[in-house]
């Protein structure tokens, strides 16, 4: 939330402007009100403010233009908007040369105030993202950001913490927690960062009510963000300082790894006990698998996998436990079957790890694992060459990149298993679904910005298939080395 200082010597006008910001601009917080330039400068000296909105005509030695110039000289990062009457319009417009971003012409309207301040917010967002990321990275690496940067980035309020993941655990689960960038802030009370990938979130919440309802607020945020996918979250609803963030994340990451169940949504408080399951597959399962592998009873193995999936889903076994059992199945199948040819154990592990990361259910996971181990390809997969299937898949992605595509939806459309699709694209195109989808979207974004450099970024983001503009900005910057605005600026005539 950005802080704003409002200045006007007429109290009714000041109160009206305050009401507009408070009721209609949730991304802004009115940090203070001042009725003259001297009081405004004194306030700026004491408090960090992002935006100054000042009337032109004010009593005393300093009018609004003088205030704008003095504030700009002392606080170069401050954004300034001036308010003027029609008679002062030409005079006020000259202030734009002093670095004033925009003006409001009296009588002001709600729509005009909203348009001007949302334009300022867009500029602040572009400036604020690097600051947020730098300060947040310092916090994660236990470096001490300056008090000024800490207040500008996060304010002074205590926070409630949460650590969450959409979907399954993947290979980075035990790596040091870092952040790939801020997520779009969807509510005024939230600061949200992606964790080590775009499905992991570090959430900081300021709750002035402290009503003990944080888990419900967190669940509502995650349900909106997950859009129907399963998610897992660990939270601390007490008031915390930012110095307590890293210890919380270390404990929360361990707890989330132990509790996450494939296809299930969970929200637990920090320290909630997690039950442990047996480490080894039951002996009767190992004996049945061994007999079926030795006798090539593939249909019976399919039934066995289905039975295991039902049992594991009913027991809500955590993903880490399911993975242990799957590795035991892989090792036994490889050791006892001479039919698993031309692939090393490590290659099979890699394909299984991909399944662990993307499976929507345990049943889907074990179905895919059967395909990895015993070559469960559909009939049409065998009748068409792999090169043709790869070309068909890439063509489908290229023609539909502006839709909400993901691996699961592409598999549903093409009829391929996730494991087979991954293997197909890697072998014939040296790419992956996500890599090629991102490539198509970025090429389309560059063309849109080149042809229409003034197009709103939220429109560009939507047109190429991203609902989250902040995520689009991050991906674009990673792919091109510049922000979308910087890229578009090259083509402004």
For 421-458, b/e burial (b = at least 16 CB within 10 A) is bbbbbeebeeeebeebbbebbbebbbebbeeebeeebe
Is the CA virtual torsion 455, 461, 467, 470 positive or negative? negative
Q: How confident is the model at residue 292 (pLDDT cuts 50, 70, 90)?
A: confident
Amino acid 446: pLDDT: 94
Two structure tokens written together for 81: 């908007």
Q: How confident is the model at residue 177 (pLDDT cuts 50, 70, 90)?
A: very high
- The residue among 233, 257, 240, 244 whose CA lies nearest residue 140 is 244
Phi, psi of 357 (to 5 degrees): -75, -25
Name the residue with higher pLDDT: 423 or 311.
311
Residue 192 bridge partners (DSSP): 203
Amino acid 415: pLDDT: 63
> What is the strand order of the sheet 266-269 is part of?
181-182, 190-194, 200-205, 159-166, 231-240, 266-269
Q: How confident is the model at residue 379 (pLDDT cuts 50, 70, 90)?
A: very low
The mean of the pLDDT values for the chain is 86
Give the number of residues written for the chain. 493
Q: How confident is the model at residue 90 (pLDDT cuts 50, 70, 90)?
A: low
**pTM exceeding 0.85:** no
Architecture field, domain 380-493: Orthogonal Bundle (1.10)
Which whole-number Å values give the CA distances from 364 to 29, 309, 360, 371, 435, in the listed order? 47, 9, 6, 11, 23
Which whole-number Å values give the CA distances from 473 to 130, 165, 447, 478, 485, in the listed order? 12, 21, 15, 9, 9
Two structure tokens written together for 186: 């969807």
pLDDT tens for residues 336-360?
A: 876 565 567 888 898 899 899 989 8
CATH class of the 2-124 domain in this structure = alpha beta
Is the CA virtual torsion 455, 25, 111, 13 positive or negative? negative
The whole-angstrom separation of Cα 16 and Cα 8 is 11
**pLDDT for 4 beyond 50:** yes
Sequence spans of domains, the chain = 2-124, 157-269, 283-374, 380-493
The whole-angstrom separation of Cα 285 and Cα 326 is 12
Strands (E), 251-355: 266-269
């Amino acid at each position: 939330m950005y802080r704003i200082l409002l200045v006007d010597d007429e109290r009714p006008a000041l109160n009206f402007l305050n009401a507009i910001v408070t009721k209609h601009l949730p991304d802004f917080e009115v940090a203070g009100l001042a009725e003259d330039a001297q009081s405004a400068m004194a306030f700026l000296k004491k408090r960090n403010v992002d935006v100054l909105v000042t009337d032109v005509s004010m009593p005393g030695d300093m009018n609004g233009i003088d205030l704008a110039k003095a504030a700009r000289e002392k606080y170069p990062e401050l954004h300034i908007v001036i308010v003027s009457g029609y008679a002062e319009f030409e005079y006020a417009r000259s202030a734009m040369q002093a670095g004033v971003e925009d003006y409001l012409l009296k009588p002001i309207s709600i729509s005009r105030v909203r348009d001007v301040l949302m334009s300022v917010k867009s500029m602040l967002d572009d400036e604020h993202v690097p600051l947020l990321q730098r300060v947040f990275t310092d916090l994660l690496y236990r470096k001490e950001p300056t008090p000024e940067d800490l207040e500008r980035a996060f304010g002074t309020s205590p926070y409630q913490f949460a650590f969450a993941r959409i979907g399954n655990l993947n290979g980075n689960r035990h790596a040091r927690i870092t952040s790939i960038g801020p997520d779009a802030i969807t509510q005024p009370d939230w600061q949200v960062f992606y964790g080590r990938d775009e499905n992991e979130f570090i959430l900081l919440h300021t709750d002035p009510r402290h009503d003990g309802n944080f888990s419900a607020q967190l669940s509502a945020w995650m349900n909106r963000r997950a859009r129907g996918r399963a998610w897992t979250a660990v939270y601390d609803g007490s008031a915390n300082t930012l110095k307590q963030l890293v210890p919380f994340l270390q404990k929360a990451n361990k707890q989330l790894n132990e509790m996450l169940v494939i296809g299930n949504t969970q929200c637990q408080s920090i320290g909630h006990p997690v039950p442990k399951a047996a480490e080894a597959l039951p002996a009767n399962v190992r004996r049945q698998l061994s007999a079926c592998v030795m006798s090539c009873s593939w249909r019976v193995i399919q039934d066995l996998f289905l039975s295991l999936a039902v049992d594991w889903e009913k027991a809500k076994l955590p993903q880490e436990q399911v993975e242990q059992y799957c590795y035991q199945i892989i090792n036994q199948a490889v050791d006892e079957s001479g039919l698993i040819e031309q692939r090393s154990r490590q290659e099979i592990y890699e394909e299984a790890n991909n399944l662990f990361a993307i499976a929507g259910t345990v049943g889907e996971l074990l179905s895919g694992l059967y395909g990895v181990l015993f070559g469960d390809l559909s009939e049409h997969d065998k009748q068409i060459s792999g090169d043709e299937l790869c070309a068909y898949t890439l063509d489908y992605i290229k023609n539909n990149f502006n839709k909400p595509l993901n691996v699961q939806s592409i598999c549903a459309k093409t009829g391929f298993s996730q494991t087979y699709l991954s293997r197909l694209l890697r072998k014939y195109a040296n790419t992956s679904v996500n890599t090629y989808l991102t490539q198509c979207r970025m090429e389309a974004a560059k063309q849109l910005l080149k042809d229409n450099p003034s197009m709103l970024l939220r429109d560009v983001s939507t047109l190429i298939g991203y609902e989250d503009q902040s995520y689009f900005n991050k991906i674009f910057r990673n792919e091109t080395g510049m922000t979308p605005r910087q890229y578009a600026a090259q083509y402004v005539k």
